[in-house]
Amino acid sequence: IATVIMLFNPEAIIIGGGIANFENYLLDGLKEKLKKDAWERPLNNCDILSADLNLKSSDSGLYALVLSSLQIV
2-12 pLDDT per residue, tens: 999 999 999 99
Q: How many helices (H) and strands (E) does the chain have?
A: 4, 2
pTM metric for this prediction? 0.68
What's the confidence (pLDDT) of residue 60? 75
15-57 pLDDT per residue, tens: 877 777 787 788 889 999 999 999 999 999 999 988 776 566 6
At 49, which helix (H) or strand (E)?
A: strand 47-50
What's the confidence (pLDDT) of residue 13? 92
Is residue 13 within 8 A of residue 4, CB to CB? The reply is yes
